[in-house]
Structure 1
Amino acid sequence: MPAKNAFTTIALSSAVLGIGGISSAVADDGYTDDVVRIGVLTDMSGIYSDLSGEAAVTAVEMAVEDFGGEVNGVPIEVIHGDHRNEADTGASRAREWYDSEGVDMINDLSNSGVALAVAAVADERERHAIVNSSSTVDLTNEYCSPYVTHYTYDAHSLAHGTGKSIVEDGGESWFFLTVDFAFGIGLEEQVSEVVRDAGGQVVGAARHPLDTSDFSSYALQAQASNAEIIGIASTGADAINAINALAEFGVTPDQQPAALLLWYDDIDSLGLETAQELLLTNAFYWDADEDTREFSERFYERTDRMPNMAHAGNYSSTMHYLKAIEEAGSDDSAAVSEAMREMKINDFFASDGYIRPNGRMVHDQYLWKVKSPDASEYDYDYLELVTTIPGEEAFQPLEESTCHLLDDE
């Protein structure tokens, strides 16, 4: 991928980025500052940069290009920035983008702490944020907003995919290796609830800092717990390091690691020899059908890698946002929110997807099993489908949401 400047402009226009004090008032033609500007706020340099990062920017750029580079004659521009996995940094960048640089929507938002911080700013500034790379269900509960959409997956869908399936298959006692921030803690809590509701038990947990390289002590704690299932409530490099440590220290034959958020990229890093037979819930797989393959092959040409579910979600959600602007005839936040919630989502990512009043995009999830090396027939042939989880079953029931927007429903 060619190197990018601090600001990446997709539409050909004479608009100048970075001019302080851009007004948020809607102009006579229905558009603020005569441009629709999208900011991709992601991890460009840290633990999640491989899962998100520049590839997330590319996915949004592809959506803008495929849309035609303009909406209702107004140019579309994309900028990007690094939140450094710090909530304060993410919130500060969001304020700067909304207030001074005319950003209408922020996308991606890897890291749950960052996503929650940006969601609060988006609600305050009445600008859009779409979360594709974070799992916390607080985004559609305490931190819900008319302007915040949680699009690709969340901790509830993971827990009721991988977690529930393992319990139903006999894995009744669990010990967790959990990354110690909002994402991991939320995932541990969600799966623990599923385990207990199914009659199982949680015998303990070990929480580790983000970006841990030495998992030896945590692996030994998991081994000593004698739990049947070792739930890995982390992702990215942390999940890879945890799985490798469990393999190195030789957990007993009666203990099975279960990765609760294993990305396609993680399987590539681990290799099929190590990852085979692991179950994972994912919203997207590049080789699922003809439509996913068409998008994925174009993405591969740009990035030299196959897309994961967040990349696909970034593309799909950007297209949906732009279609909503087209339908509303304006980039006015309230009008676009209404259109986003009224329009169904039908593309390679979702079939009859829709956005609930609390901001949760509902669509099918899929339980996959990692293939053995012998079963893989060609490059990147890693997964086989176990079952489809209907969206209404995968995500938190709307009646259980504590979102304040539901009070008048």
Structure 2
Amino acid sequence: MTTRILGLAALALALAAAPATAQDQVKLGILNDQSSLYSDLTGSGSVTAARFAVEDFGGEVLGKPIEIVTADHQNKPDIGSTISRRWIDEDGVTAIVDVPASSVAFAVQEVTRDTGIPFLISGAASSGLTGEACSPTTVHWTYDTYALAAGAARGVVQDGGKKWFFITQDNQFGHALEADISRFVEDAGGEVVGSIRHPLQTNDFSAFLLQAQAAGPDVVALANAGSDFTNALKQAAEFQLAQSGIRMVGTSVTINDIHALGPKTAQGLQFAAPFYWDMTDETRAFSERFQEVEGKMPNHIHAGVYGAVKHYLEAVQKAGTTDGPTVVAQMKAMPIEDFFTKDGSIRADGRVLREFYLMSVKTPEESTSDWDLVNILSTIAPEDAALPLSQSKCPLVSEKS
């Protein structure tokens, strides 16, 4: 209730300062990795998802066509911020969407904060984006490291996975994942027996896996993503860690990763995610439409881009303007309803509240088709998948709840 009151108050102030009718263009900038380790997880799939949302909205808003531009940030913060600045200052982009790689997202968030442009994050995961670094025009739409930690850690510790070892991507994303999961492990009665960090885009994980095995853990957690995750899990299978009694936990996994690895290699892997293509008639319809274009099923990042763009356009239409603070205030005041998110909401810190799921990869015998890859083990309630506002360091949260 407190969050909704804050959102409505912010909306009232923003609308009072905005023109009643605005004939602004709407131009969406889809900024992500289109050529490197996160390209399969975001890339062209995020662009396709955004286009679907624009098509389903009707293709225009405020009397003008909706435009989409795209760029590859190459996982470099300076490139991401330069593109964002040019898009806003020269090209008239009214919102920036997706932006995997937390280091890039933090850099882009500074640009959008300075310019008052909505920043709709789907690909980046660091919970710090809605923590101390939070911004009035940022919406962290799809997932964050806190939710991944909550989903991956609690159930595994309760199921006997007490001793954890981390193999962690050496960047802001990996550090945040390890920190968030470690807290959950310890709170649930487990312990962290060691960790090691690896460079981005590592090909050989042998030394890291041997060090993990030597620590005698119950669980080896891969606090990485993209090709780093798939390379590490492939080599863990070659080292037969699972056969030696070590449980493998993925901390940022997509259906694309599992499909690339195959059930024989990934079977039994546990991970948390907010979306699976084969959950409802609605998710299946979107996913089959997506597959016709992309040749693969969508993951939660792609579904998140669709939802964020759709909600943004609805807010622009209702507010009658593309003014960033006004539109984000409107987004926070509106419930979220689409095939991905039911009765969702956006908190004062910009974090979207939604359910998450603990999943397990099927065995080859259980899998009945090419993309029939996971079982859903349990559901994590929205309030359990998000950092409590009472613990938030976001300056926007003026009243704890």
Range into which the TM-score falls when normalised by the shorter chain = over 0.9
Deviation track 1:364-384 (CA, whole Å, cap 9, x = no partner) reads 111111111111122311111
Match of 2:123 in 1: 133
TM-score (norm 2): 0.93
Distance (whole Å) between structure 2 residues aligned to residue 334 and residue 27 of structure 1:
13
3-state SS of the aligned residue for 2:275?
Answer: coil
Residue 29 of structure 1: how far off its partner (Å): 4.3
Match of 2:60 in 1: 70
Match of 1:206 in 2: 196
1:224 aligns with 2:214: yes
1:163 aligns with 2:158: no
Deviation track 1:245-297 (CA, whole Å, cap 9, x = no partner) reads 11222336132211111110010011001111111111111100100001111
Q: Residue type of the partner of 2:22?
A: G
3-state SS of the aligned residue for 1:212?
Answer: coil
Match of 1:49 in 2: 39
Distance (whole Å) between structure 1 residues aligned to residue 214 and residue 220 of structure 2:
11
Moved more, 246-255 or 301-310: 246-255
Q: Residue type of the partner of 1:219?
A: L
1:30 aligns with 2:22: yes
* Total equivalences in the alignment: 383
Match of 2:15 in 1: none
Distance (whole Å) between structure 2 residues aligned to residue 380 and residue 353 of structure 1:
27
Distance (whole Å) between structure 2 residues aligned to residue 407 and residue 28 of structure 1:
28
Match among 374, 387, 390 for residue 378 of structure 2: 387
1:299 aligns with 2:316: no
Q: Residue type of the partner of 2:340?
A: F
Deviation track 1:190-217 (CA, whole Å, cap 9, x = no partner) reads 1111111112111111100011001111
Tell me which of the two structures has the higher relative contact order, counting C-alpha pairs closer than 8 angstroms and 6 or more residues apart. Answer: 2
Change (3 A) 1:146 1:171: same
- 5+ unaligned residues in a row in structure 1: which ranges? 1-25
1:321 aligns with 2:351: no
Match of 1:264 in 2: 255
Match among 364, 368, 379 for residue 377 of structure 1: 368
Taking only aligned residues, the RMSD between alpha carbons, in angstroms, comes to 1.4
1:91 aligns with 2:91: no
- 5+ unaligned residues in a row in structure 2: which ranges? 1-17
Match of 2:5 in 1: none
1:163–1:260 Cα contact (<8 Å) kept: no
Match of 2:8 in 1: none
Identity %: 43
Match of 1:17 in 2: none
Moved more, 352-361 or 245-254: 245-254
Match of 1:345 in 2: 336
Match among 280, 285, 298 for residue 276 of structure 2: 285
Q: Residue type of the partner of 1:165?
A: G
1:102 aligns with 2:92: yes
Change (3 A) 1:192 1:323: same
Distance (whole Å) between structure 2 residues aligned to residue 100 and residue 138 of structure 1:
29
Match among 380, 389, 399 for residue 390 of structure 2: 399
3-state SS of the aligned residue for 1:372?
Answer: coil
Change (3 A) 1:407 1:28: closer
Residue 243 of structure 1: how far off its partner (Å): 0.8
Match of 1:6 in 2: none
Distance (whole Å) between structure 2 residues aligned to residue 39 and residue 61 of structure 1:
11
TM-score (norm 1): 0.91
